[in-house]
Structure 1
Amino acid sequence: MAVVAVLVITGAVWGATGSVRREVPAQGILTHAEGSIYLQSGYDGQITAIFAATGASFQKGAPLFTVQDGDRQYTIRSTTGGRVISMFARAGEVVARGTQLAVIERIEEQSDPLVAMVYLPQASAGLVRSGSLVDLTVRSAPANQFGVLRGRVRSIGQFPETQQQIAEFLGDEQLARRFATQGQPLAVVVELFPGHTTSGFKWSTKDGPPFQIDSRALVSASIHLPPIRPIEWVVS
């Protein structure tokens, strides 16, 4: 009976003064805050030249394609600084006005910071606050070797996003389907903590991975919630 009494008292004290860590899981991707755009042809004709390949970076106004329509040749320029994420067009292809030629990740300045765009199911949205700490497992940098990337919630979308809205922002319909599997999620922007590592970011390990972390890397997020006392479960 004495042992049972000690256990009961210990449990009661822990229930009143202890705390239980809570987290909300979500899926996302590393990108830049401006997202991506679909570059479309403004002309009918044949593509005669392509000036950028997938992965290439360029400034606003840079020529990306030329389109020949009879005796006239048109140059299609980028409306934003950025990088080619996907290239759809091929030299010699005949295109119509409005044809999607490429997906451009918008990067107005090369110093624009990388962020994590995380898609949070609506059922968990009410638990997360701006400033909440976030651990990000980066698919290209296994956590069991390099740890997790550290960050915090910068902002939370006011309204749920449709699959189409996600696709337009990311420039990727397949990813949009993946992030919208549980319905219309809220977009959460996670800023990454800077660190003195090869990647330039703070990790749970001292050095993190010995390579750069690029945009478009998929991440799994664990968003930290305020701890709760066990007794609150009983009361609620």
Structure 2
Amino acid sequence: MRFREKALAKLQAPDELDVPARLARPQSWIALAVVAAVVVSGGIWAAVGTLPRTVRASGILTHLQGSFSLQSPVAGQITGVFVSQGNTFPQGTPMFTVQAGDRTEIIRSVTGGRVTAMLGKVGQVIAAGSDLAVIERVEDQADGLVAVLYVPAGEAGLIRKDSTVDLSVQSAPAQEFGVLRGTVQSVGQFAESRQQISDFLGDDQLGERFTSLGQPLKVVVRLTDGETASGYRWSTQNGPPYRIDSRTLVTGAVHLSSVKPIDWVVL
């Protein structure tokens, strides 16, 4: 076996015999220690740390029983309008009169409620089944609002009753007034069609809006009471300096139970 002359000369030098062999540079040990610390810290965090999870969905503020469209049972010309938008009334209240041939028909509300939209006006000629008004069902004027969220079916199964919810309200910018607080009151068992949503809200456009990504599940959110101008609790101390009304669009963030990072690895 032949060796290089320089290597042999180095081995023969007496001043080199007592020099310890260098296995690694100090900088390498430092880097190794840092990597080991990161790995250990990551393992501890994965085992004991938690990650928040949320499900976001659009919805609307309304009363628990929803709304309906008041329709004319006859064709003719509207000759009288006895309510206006925002009025509340008991069951059986005269709403419109319609001249149908030689007789005048009085159209009454089939339930107590509140007018949220007026569609008919004096002098208008209508067909049988025409929408005259949108009425929100309100049994008691003290009944509070709820938020109804329409959650994609694939995500609704993660939501549980009493989960906390943050609501961004269209009429109260979150950047200025914060978000409205609430908790999940109920989660629907079955996906809802566009027609079902339209019937509940009394608005075909809303039915189309909330089913644009498919048939969702209805999640009812109970608003948390608070000593504010709106009557509800907000993420800021006071919230908006005015009351919020029904039929206001919202975006909800439903907070789910936290998950440990290690669970994702195990699963």
TM-score normalised by L of structure 1: 0.96
Query: Is the 8 Å Cα contact of residues 162 and 184 (structure 1) preserved in structure 2?
Result: yes
Deviations 1:139-182 (A, max 9, x none): 11111111111101101111100011111111111121111111
Could you list the runs of 5+ residues in structure 1 that have no partner in the other structure? none
Pair 1:210-2:237 in alignment = no
Q: Work out the CA distance in 2 between the residues paired with 1:229 and 1:69.
A: 68
Pair 1:118-2:144 in alignment = no
User: Which one scores higher on RCO, CA 8 angstroms, separation ≥ 6?
Assistant: 1
Structure 1 residue 54 displacement after superposition: 2.0
- Equivalent positions of 1:19-30 (< 5 A) are 19-30=50-61
Q: 1 or 2, which has the higher strand percentage?
A: 1
Q: Work out the CA distance in 2 between the residues paired with 1:158 and 1:120.
A: 12
137-146 vs 67-76, which moves further: 67-76
Structure 1 residue 97 displacement after superposition: 2.6
Pair 1:109-2:140 in alignment = yes
Structure 1 residue 112 displacement after superposition: 1.5
* Number of matched pairs: 236
What is the RMSD of the two structures over their aligned residues, measured on CA atoms? 1.1
Deviations 1:54-78 (A, max 9, x none): 2222222111101122342221111
Q: Work out the CA distance in 1 between the residues paired with 2:45 and 2:146.
A: 38
Structure ID, larger Rg: 2
Q: Work out the CA distance in 1 between the residues paired with 2:127 and 2:208.
A: 27
88-97 vs 56-65, which moves further: 88-97
Structure 1 residue 187 displacement after superposition: 0.6
Q: 1 or 2, which has the higher helix percentage?
A: 2
Deviations 1:19-60 (A, max 9, x none): 000000000000001111111112232211001122222222
Q: 1:6 — aligned with what?
A: 37
Q: 2:232 — aligned with what?
A: 201
Could you list the runs of 5+ residues in structure 2 that have no partner in the other structure? 1-31
Identical aligned residues as a percent: 56
155-164 vs 72-81, which moves further: 72-81
Q: 2:105 — aligned with what?
A: 74
- Equivalent positions of 1:1-236 (< 5 A) are 1-236=32-267
